[in-house]
């Protein structure tokens, strides 16, 4: 029989408790670039099709762009949720993609991708919007 004095505690210690993922105030450009490389076929193909046909990007491309952009932020970001569900709060999504867009270190290609995502989101949220 086990001696209670020598039995390890059944409760997890603080070093083994799950910790929330860190929230980033500044975009992590390395993670974003890695995600874009991994999903470049979908993103580039969707943008090329939209440009060629003078339309916005389709839903699959928009969700893929949201995933790529979300990699630079926290895993619980609005962009991450949109990437999974295709739905989200317009203002929360806008705040996140504009944070990425207006960062002084944002490369031109990031701004182009954000432009396409933002346009898609505006038309999805406000179907009667016109340019």
User: What local confidence, expressed as pLDDT, does residue 21 receive?
Assistant: 46
- Going by the DSSP 8-state scheme, the letter that residue 127 receives in this structure is T
Q: In the predicted model, what is the mean pLDDT of residues 96-108?
A: 94
pLDDT band at residue 128, thresholds of 50, 70 and 90?
A: confident
Q: What is the pLDDT of residues 5-61, one digit of tens each?
A: 655 555 555 565 554 444 556 788 899 899 999 999 999 999 999 999 999 999 999
Q: In the predicted model, what is the mean pLDDT of residues 97-116?
A: 95
Q: In the predicted model, what is the mean pLDDT of residues 77-95?
A: 96
CB 57 within 8 A of CB 65: yes
Q: How far is CA 84 from CA 53, 60, 101, in A?
A: 26, 10, 21
User: What local confidence, expressed as pLDDT, does residue 4 receive?
Assistant: 57
In this prediction the pTM is: 0.79
At 89, is the secondary structure helix, strand, or coil?
coil
């Amino acid at each position: 029989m086990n001696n209670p004095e020598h039995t390890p505690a059944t409760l997890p210690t603080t070093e083994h408790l799950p910790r929330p993922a860190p929230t980033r105030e500044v975009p992590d450009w390395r993670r974003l670039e890695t995600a874009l490389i991994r999903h470049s076929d979908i993103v580039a193909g969707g943008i090329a099709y939209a440009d060629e046909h003078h339309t916005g990007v389709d839903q699959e491309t928009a969700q893929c762009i949201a995933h790529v952009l979300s990699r630079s932020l926290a895993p619980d970001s609005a962009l991450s949720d949109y990437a999974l569900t295709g739905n989200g709060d317009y203002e929360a999504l806008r705040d996140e993609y504009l944070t990425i867009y207006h960062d002084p270190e944002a490369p031109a290609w990031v701004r182009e991708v954000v432009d396409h995502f933002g346009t898609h989101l505006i038309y999805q949220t406000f179907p009667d919007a016109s340019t």
